[in-house]
Structure 1
Amino acid sequence: MRAAEVRRLAHQARVSPGDSVLDLCCGVAGPGRMITAESGCRYLGVDHSASALAIARQLAGSLPCRFEQAHLPPLPDGRFEVIFLLETMLAFPDKEALMGEVTRVLEPGGRFAFTVEEGRPLTQQERTRMPGADTVWPIELAELTGVLRNAGLTVIWRQEYSSAHQAMATALLRCYRADSPQIARQIGTQATAELITAHQLWSDWLGSGRVRKFAMVAKKQ
């Protein structure tokens, strides 16, 4: 996500000074560190990657950020005013289990702010073409709304970002192709080819409407 998109999502989620914020699959926590610095919230970032969390801790410096390593779900115990899940809902095949955990740890009136790739499940042919297809589980908007509702969450804001993210995927694809020899020396030829293939597919799917990209906020009743 671009910084302006993260800021708008945080604004719609009403992140305020002192709020307890949980950031799921935070990676190196670029958005989380920015939100913490600008809002004065109390931040906990969770990710499965120890190396990503080591970078996050180093970059957080004196910010009031904490980090935990965990495989999700379940979510860490606690009570939170806001939960973020940015760019990774796609990786959860069982979204009902995820939403149940979100509801469990949200305060009453708490907000779940997330991005989602909306569309039909991948066909077998599409799964064969997509690298890492075991982490690619789009969901149609009507089904997602029902899953949220069943978990006690009501959508209060939604914004489509398909065109912006298609442009970003296309720009990254162009750069990866141009720099592929240097990238291959860093991560290997196969990983570089998969990186290019994945971005080509996302550029095509977002451009054609096969997949749409949304940012959303849902509130716990």
Structure 2
Amino acid sequence: MRAGEILALATRAGVDPWTRVLDLCCGPGGPGRLVVQERGCAYLGVDASPAVVELARAQGERLGLRHDVLRVPPLPPGPFDVVLLLETMLAFRDKETLLRQVRDALAPGGRFALTAEVGLPLTPAERAAMPAPDTVWPVLLTDLLELLEHVGLEVTWTEEVSAAHLGVVEALLARFTADEARIAAQVGRDVMDDVLTAHRLWQDWLLSGRVRKYALVARRPA
């Protein structure tokens, strides 16, 4: 996501200086730092990788951000006013369990802001072509909306952001290709090949409409 899209989603979710935010699968913490700097809030980011949490802590400490190592689910005990899940709904095969725990972590009236890659499940051939296919579980938009309602979350806003997502994928692919030799020397040839393959597949799928990208906000009723 671009910075403007992150802030727009945070605004839709009502993030302000009095908001308690839980950022799931936060990675190195860039979006969290941006939201805290621009909107202000009490912030906790969690991620399964100790290495990226260490990076997030190093960058976020001066802003008063907290980060913990946690494989989701389970979620930290709430209540939180806003739960963020940016760019990682795709990685959860069991989306219903995740969404139930998000609902339980939210205070009454709390908001869940997320992005989701929507489309039919991968075919065996697509799964064989995609690096790390066990982290690639698209869902139909209708099914996702029904799941949110089923677990007790009321969808208040949706917007397709496929074009913007395609622009990010293409920009990343161009940069990775331009710096391919240098990056491969640092992370290894196999890792570099997987990164390029995954981004080329996403580019093709977005161009063809095989996968679309949506941003959503859902609310736990008061």
- TM-score class, shorter-chain normalisation, is over 0.9
Residue 61 of structure 1 deviates from its aligned partner by 3.2
Q: Which moved more, 1:163-172 or 1:10-19?
A: 163-172
CA contact (8 A) 1:36 1:64 kept: no
2:212 is matched with: 212
1:111 is matched with: 111
Per-residue displacement from partner, 1:165-220 (whole Å, max 9, x unpaired)? 11221222222222211111011111111111000000010111100011110011
CA contact (8 A) 1:81 1:110 kept: yes
1:178 is matched with: 178
Per-residue displacement from partner, 1:122-146 (whole Å, max 9, x unpaired)? 0000000000100000000010011
Give TM-score scaled by structure 1 length.
0.98
Note the 1:1-221 alignment, pairs <5 A: 1-221=1-221
Per-residue displacement from partner, 1:23-77 (whole Å, max 9, x unpaired)? 0000111111111122221000000111111111111132131111111101011
Q: Following the alignment from structure 1 to structure 2, what is the Cα–Cα distance between the partners of residues 164 and 29? A: 21
Q: Following the alignment from structure 2 to structure 1, what is the Cα–Cα distance between the partners of residues 157 and 91? A: 22
Q: Following the alignment from structure 1 to structure 2, what is the Cα–Cα distance between the partners of residues 6 and 91? A: 19
- Structure 2 residue runs without a partner (length 5+): none
SS in 1 for 2:62: coil
Q: Following the alignment from structure 1 to structure 2, what is the Cα–Cα distance between the partners of residues 171 and 4? A: 16
CA contact (8 A) 1:19 1:41 kept: yes
Residue 108 of structure 1 deviates from its aligned partner by 0.7
CA contact (8 A) 2:78 2:107 kept: no
Q: Following the alignment from structure 2 to structure 1, what is the Cα–Cα distance between the partners of residues 67 and 187? A: 27
Coordinate RMSD, CA, aligned? 0.9
CA contact (8 A) 2:17 2:41 kept: yes
- Structure 1 residue runs without a partner (length 5+): none
Amino acid at match of 2:45: G
CA contact (8 A) 2:27 2:53 kept: yes
Q: Following the alignment from structure 1 to structure 2, what is the Cα–Cα distance between the partners of residues 155 and 207? A: 27
CA contact (8 A) 1:36 1:43 kept: yes
CA contact (8 A) 1:24 1:84 kept: yes
Q: Following the alignment from structure 1 to structure 2, what is the Cα–Cα distance between the partners of residues 36 and 167? A: 25
CA contact (8 A) 1:167 1:203 kept: no
Q: Following the alignment from structure 1 to structure 2, what is the Cα–Cα distance between the partners of residues 174 and 33? A: 26
CA contact (8 A) 1:47 1:68 kept: yes
Amino acid at match of 1:204: D
Give TM-score scaled by structure 2 length.
0.97
Q: Following the alignment from structure 1 to structure 2, what is the Cα–Cα distance between the partners of residues 78 and 87? A: 22
SS in 2 for 1:27: coil
Identity %: 51
Amino acid at match of 1:142: T
